[in-house]
Amino acid sequence: MHGQSMTVEVGPYEGDNPLYKHGSVHASENRAYLQHEDGTPFLWLADTWWMALTNRLQWPEDYKWLAKDRAEKGFTAIQIVAGLYPDMGPFDERGANEGGQSWEPEFTGINPAFFDAADPKIEWMVESGLLPCIVGSWGYYLDFAGKDVLKKHWDYLIARYGAYPVMWCASGEANMAYYQWDSFSDPRLREAYVERMRAEWTELTAYIKTADPFGRAVTIHPTEYGHNMVEDAAVLDLDMLQTGHSGTVTVARTVPMIRKAVAREPKTPVINSEVCYEGIGGTSYEEIQRMNFWNCMLNGACGHTYGANGIWQVNDEKRPYGESPTGISWGHRFWKEAAQLPGSRQVGMAKKLLEKYRWWEFQPHPEWLDPLGEDADVYSRAYAAGIPGEVRVIFAPLHYSFSGITVRELKTGDRYRARFVDPATGDEYDLGTVTPDADGSWWSGRFKIFQDWVLVLEQTREARAE
């Protein structure tokens, strides 16, 4: 420093930014949920901005606008890729930002100018209270760039951003080959490829944990289950899932996948990190967003990831994203319009409802509801979770509108405050104090509107005291 000197005074943080106030995010001691360094539970509600470090999301106006919108709606995390993007091959011009590509041609060296342009965006996420979940690359870059390049990539990311309260994601869709490859007509070749990638990503994920002196949590984004992307799931602090993008078909397959991951040993916190981008394929609008949030959360997930088609690829009005490597475009909605789709506000309201309670202690309780047959569709499947003796939260889809919902295994003689919450508006309808029938059941009555509803029962203080 050529003889320069200075005095730095460090004092306690007195603001309300949860990332500064409580610290970075890790798995809880019981590995059932996520928490800050000081032990404060962290309710993950992420938005998906895969390509937001490109120059299609302009700094500072666009970036600050979107971050403010998400923070105000209640989002707590952002999934973002650090230069080696999905849905394109290496050095595609759409992957550049104001400083160019993240690497020099042929992966001969890091391009610091790319990260100079990325710095204020990462910093602004943190300043906005949004945990950056930084994805190093999409999985197929192992084939294009090689393991040594990706290790250097991670060394650079850790050195540049590790002091921030971030989470690392080793890869996106880690075991997926590049989109145009057709060499897997033989199932044996595909199996061999997947096994090789699992071994490679296990090594790379372990490398990230070893190389990071800050000890940030590490996860991996999957094609289905994160724990299947690696040979040893112990290297993961969070088990991410991807359950599909096909509207109600995906809703039907999501709950079994969540339950399977939650029940897996050794236990790891579970989050559905990619499901049914709002508007994708002209489907998956707000009612699907509500169903996926509540179905995941009430079946044991410790958070949820939302996404809107148009935002993840940053489809800009002046610079539309265009075709994927498959030759098909994912859609024509621009990112700013996608940001205002109602699903993002509604999942934010759902998260704020859960935050009124000790959500991290919630357990699924299917026995609180009438059993359903295997042939019941997604609009007939209600889910319940909560804390026995304190609170029950039930998500009831629209087929219950005329029949109402019966809550079971209530304690006879106890009293409960019951209310309906409209998941589309956040409006609450107080049903007053209710008591169960002699068999320990209580019927809600018909719903006010033909749609899905959230039913909340809180055991009264008087009943708990007795």
pLDDT by 10s per residue, the chain, length 466: 689 999 999 998 999 999 999 999 999 999 999 999 999 999 999 999 999 999 999 999 999 999 999 999 999 999 999 999 999 999 999 999 999 999 999 999 999 999 999 999 999 999 999 999 999 999 999 999 999 999 999 999 999 999 999 999 999 999 999 987 666 778 888 899 999 999 999 999 999 999 999 999 999 999 999 999 999 999 999 999 999 999 999 999 999 999 999 999 999 999 999 999 999 999 999 999 999 999 999 999 999 999 999 999 999 999 999 999 999 999 999 999 999 999 999 999 999 999 999 999 999 999 999 998 888 899 999 999 999 999 999 999 999 999 999 999 999 889 999 999 999 999 999 999 999 999 999 999 999 899 999 999 999 876 444 4
Report the run of H or E that residue 403 belongs to, with start and end: none
The ranges assigned to domains in the chain are 18-356, 365-465
In whole angstroms, give the CA distance from residue 55 to residue 316.
10
pLDDT at 182: 64
Upper half-sphere CA count for residue 181 (Cβ side, 13 Å): 14
The rounded distance, in Å, linking the Cα atoms of 86 and 395 is 34
Give pLDDT, residue 2.
86
**Same fold across 18-356 and 365-465:** no
CB burial of residue 2 (10 Å; 0-12, 13-18, 19+):
exposed
Containing 238, the helix (H) or strand (E) segment is strand 238-244
End-to-end CA distance of the chain: 69
CATH of domain 18-356: 3.20.20.80
Q: 362 to each of 25, 120, 219, 299, 376, how far by Cα in Å?
A: 20, 37, 23, 9, 25
Burial 428-457 (b: 16+ CB within 10 A, else e): eeebeebebeeeeebebeebeeeebbbbbb
- Strand, helix or coil for residue 137: strand
Give how far Cα 243 sits from Cα of 81, 246, 254, 368, Å: 20, 9, 6, 26
Q: Which of 228, 252, 256 is nearest to 240 (CA)?
A: 228
Percent helix, percent strand, percent coil in the chain, to nearest 5? 35, 20, 45
Q: What kind of fold does domain 365-465 have according to CATH?
A: Immunoglobulin-like (2.60.40)
Residue 151 neighbours by CB distance under 10 Å: 16
Nearest one of 358, 364, 265, 305 to 30, comparing CA atoms: 265
- Alpha carbon of residue 167 to chain centroid: 12
Q: Check residue 189 and give its pLDDT.
A: 87
Specify the pLDDT at position 273. 98
pLDDT at 181: 66
Q: Which tokens belong to 285?
A: 């609008």
pLDDT number for residue 462? 63
Extract the tokens encoding 298. Answer: 């009430």
Confidence at residue 465, expressed as pLDDT on a 0 to 100 scale: 41
